[in-house]
């Protein structure tokens, strides 16, 4: 190879490196626009949803504080003893002045079925207990739901616990549906 050939080869390599560098810079700039360019709308939506979600969580927590020492009593509707559907019925009556049916089977017909639960949604289980074999609770957050447990009374449980996962049936949204 001659000196001229070496010089041309060096210039070609230099041009190739510059092209790669420019391509990388353009790719990074484009990626930044894609990642951050559309985030404003999503953030505004999230803030709105978070405020209403926080309000619902506060209502559920308040209901739990009032009912937490209540034992399970099939057919019960008071703080002296309550079943699952009465706990749900009382929550919506006291917090939203919304009248729900007395039984879990009738409550299961309300609102719309949803795949992803949010605070205040009704979660239903086919446990085989009670007149309809259904159990109902109020979804809280992060897999937790408030309900009247036959063994623990009014308590929070987790949808991911093996028992509840096995018996889970559906989630229904009765607020905002």
Report, as residue numbers or ranges, the catalytic residues: 84, 135, 147
Q: Which residues contact 9 (CB under 8 A, 6 or more apart)?
A: 1
Strand partners, 139: 145
Per DSSP, the residues of 90-112 read: HHHHHHH-----SSHHHHTTSSE
Q: Whole-angstrom Cα distance, residue 121 to residue 171?
A: 7
- d(C-alpha 149, C-alpha 137), whole Å: 9
Contact 103, 96 (CB under 8 A): no
DSSP-derived 3-state class of residue 157: strand
């Amino acid at each position: 190879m001659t000196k001229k050939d070496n010089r041309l080869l060096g210039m070609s390599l230099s041009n190739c490196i510059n092209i790669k560098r420019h391509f990388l810079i353009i790719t990074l700039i484009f990626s930044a626009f894609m990642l951050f360019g559309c985030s404003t709308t999503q953030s505004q939506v999230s803030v709105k949803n978070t405020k209403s979600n926080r309000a619902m969580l506060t209502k559920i927590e308040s209901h739990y504080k009032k009912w937490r020492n209540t034992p399970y009593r099939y057919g019960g509707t008071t703080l002296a003893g309550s079943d699952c559907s009465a706990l749900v019925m009382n929550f919506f009556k006291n917090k939203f002045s919304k009248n729900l049916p007395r039984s879990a089977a009738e409550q299961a017909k309300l609102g719309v079925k949803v795949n992803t639960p949010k605070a205040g949604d009704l979660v239903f289980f086919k446990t085989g207990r009670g007149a309809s074999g259904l159990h109902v609770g109020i979804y809280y957050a992060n897999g937790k739901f408030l309900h009247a447990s036959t063994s623990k009374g009014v308590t929070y449980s987790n949808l991911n616990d093996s028992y509840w996962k096995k018996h889970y049936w559906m989630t229904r949204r009765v607020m905002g549906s």
